[in-house]
Structure 1
Amino acid sequence: MRTRTLLISASVLAGAFLVPIGTSFAQSDANRAADNTAINQRDSGHETLTPMDQSNKPSDLKMTREIRRAIVKDRALSTDAKNIKIITIDGAVTLRGPVKTDEEKADIAAKAAQLAGDSNVHNELEVAGR
């Protein structure tokens, strides 16, 4: 019985210390603007490719997978860069989304061109903040 009381007390005490830590993380996320309404409106017009346009041909899926793996393996790239959209249709690869720097944009395009061929890559990556 005493062990159970000690465990409950320890859990309550640990929880009391974790609550302030969790709220500081939530506050830092609240300071970031999360509104991407303009981008969503642009993509809803079907004038640009979205991941929904990705071909289901095995060769296209394989190409997208290989490019994604090459990007994710590169530790120098930011999380934003690793989360870009890669859309392959009939061997043509389109890269879309925000990256942090011009160097990331060029590095990702080079990785895609190495795997898909330079003439098959359409680089629509955007440097954030521009």
Structure 2
Amino acid sequence: MGRIFNQIGTAVLLCATILPCTGFAADPVPPVVKEGKSASNVDNTAINNRDKYAGNKTPEDQANTPEDRTLLAAVRRSVVQEKSLSVMAHNIKIMVDAGAVTLRGPVKTADEKSKVEKIVQTVKGVSSINNSLDVKTN
């Protein structure tokens, strides 16, 4: 057993000394990322923090019954299969609890927000919808 750990340690040491020479560890960050000009426009970290601390349901609160998981999968599939929606809309947070669906996250337009809700309404088993989607303004 000690021999195996010794070989693993040697391999880790070799990797640590070889990688910096190959340029993998020292690759510079692209200038666009350094400047971060559009960083606040491309993620919804602030919205995630708002939802987390405001006592709102998050995907971590998703019910774990087989019925809720099946309905969640059906709702997600319906949203993702709608190709006219933006990537932003495809990535919304969806939570299901006893047939009640909660939608959170940013979408591009008010029309897209209502379109997502209409798509979810067509899924069999949805009893109600809490549409808390945010429309991106900039």
User: Please, which moves more after superposition, 114-123 or 97-106?
Assistant: 114-123
Deviations 1:80-130 (A, max 9, x none): 000000000111100010000111101110111111567511110110117
Between Structure 1 and Structure 2, the one with more helix by share is 1
Q: Distance in 2 between matches of 1:36 and 1:75?
A: 22
Among candidates 69, 72, 80, match of residue 64 of structure 1: 72
Q: Secondary structure at the match of 1:129?
A: coil
Q: Name which of 27, 33, 36 aligns with 1:30.
A: 36
Total equivalences in the alignment: 108
- Partner SS for 1:115: coil
Aligned equivalent of 1:92, options 88, 100, 103: 100
Query: Which consecutive residues of structure 1, in runs of 5 or more, have no partner in the other structure?
Result: 1-21
1:1-130 paired onto structure 2 within 5 Å:
23=30, 27=32, 30-34=36-40, 36=44, 38-45=46-53, 47-115=55-123, 120-129=128-137
> If the length of structure 2 is used for normalisation, what is the TM-score?
0.67
Distance 2:44 2:83 in 1: 27
Query: Structure 1: which amino acid aligns with 2:66?
Result: P
Determine if contact 2:79/2:90 at 8 Å carries over to the other structure: yes
Q: Alignment partner of 2:39: what SS?
A: coil
| SS state at 2:85 partner | coil
Q: Is the 8 A contact 1:55 1:89 kept in 2?
A: yes
Contact persistence 2:72–2:96 (CA under 8 A): yes
Structure 1 residues 118 and 127: alpha-carbon distance in aligned structure 2, compared to 1, 3 A threshold: same
User: Moved runs in structure 1, 4+ residues, more than 3 A?
Assistant: 34-38, 116-119
> Percent identity, aligned pairs only?
41
How much is the aligned-residue C-alpha RMSD, in angstroms? 2.7
Q: Distance in 1 between matches of 2:124 and 2:94?
A: 12
Moved more, 86-95 or 37-46: 37-46
Structure 1 residues 58 and 103, CA gap change in structure 2 (3 angstroms): same
